[in-house]
Amino acid sequence: MRIKINEIDQFDQLIHDDSTKFESVTVFDRNGLAPVSKNNLFGLINGEGDVIIPFEYQSIVMSTINAYSVSKDDKWGFVTKSNQIIIPIIYDLTSDFIENLCAVKKDNKWGFIDLLNTEIIPFDYDGCTDFRAGIAGVVKNDKWGVIDKENNLKIDFQYEYLTPVDHQYLTFGKATTIKIERPDILAYFPYFLSKDNYLMNFGLVSIENNIILEAVSELPVLESYDGKPVVRQNYQQGYLNDNNEFVPFEQFEIDPYEEKILKQIGVMK
């Protein structure tokens, strides 16, 4: 019988900043290894229960480079499956190696390193996304812009949220006039809030900073259906014809109690 374990994913899928949370799932990774805890410290075991990496880390996360992001003494780095350090355990937080660059946080600022731990993008930013199609969203003074891998500013700092979709388009966020009085409850549902707890909607902008789609979606616009943007409106996902007519997909049946809560909070009609 295989041993059930917890794998820790320390990042929200879209954004790295001080507010990201840890989530737990149960799985063995592609190396056939799994993080387990003992006395509140994590190590790695194989399917037979043999300890492959000793219990010395606060967290262990499988990465895209077939290594592990680990934390020790409240610092993060990377080790191999044989526990050899490949990125020093010196960072406040680490993301993963996406497009050969890893977002890391040091001294309360974010930058990017490569596989040799060379600083590629300086630690100048208050938050960031991972790179996608050669560009990444970055934050300064609570505003989002976009940089390329040479740290050239492609879109200046003017948005409330900005993350790449591909090399041509980005999804941007804009706060609505709906202020959420119970953000603690809304945190259980897939919605986004501004810093001041206003509900955020999302649209599309081109890399030339031209608005393609106004902020009409409750979720970031990250995919398309038959060339049309996929959005969510009133808790229902669908696509837009001519960037205007909402065509819903076949939706799951929402729990009546959850529907009641969302209507009371004011995010669902």
**Are residues 166 and 149 in contact, defined by beta-carbon separation less than 8 angstroms?**
no
What is the rounded CA–CA span in Å between residue 136 and residue 165?
Answer: 10
122-127-133 Cα angle (round to 5): 75
Instruction: Read off the pTM.
Output: 0.82
Q: Is residue 162 part of a domain?
A: yes
Q: Tell me, what's the pLDDT at 49?
A: 79
Instruction: Give, as one character, the DSSP assignment of residue 132.
Output: B
**H or E stretch covering 82:** none
| Start-end of H helices in the chain | 183-186, 256-265
Q: Is residue 245 part of a domain?
A: yes
Q: Is residue 83 part of a domain?
A: yes
61 and 147 assigned to the same domain: no
Q: How many domains, the chain?
A: 2
Which of 125, 145, 177 is the last residue in one of the domains?
125
Q: Tell me, what's the pLDDT at 27?
A: 67
Whether the per-residue pLDDT at 15 is higher than 60: the answer is no
Q: 107-131: per-residue pLDDT in tens?
A: 999 999 999 999 999 999 999 999 9
Number of H helices, E strands in the chain: 2, 25
Q: 41-61: per-residue pLDDT in tens?
A: 888 888 787 889 999 999 998
What is the rounded CA–CA span in Å between residue 166 and residue 218?
Answer: 20
Domain of residue 244: give its range.
132-264
What is the rounded CA–CA span in Å between residue 122 and residue 46?
Answer: 38
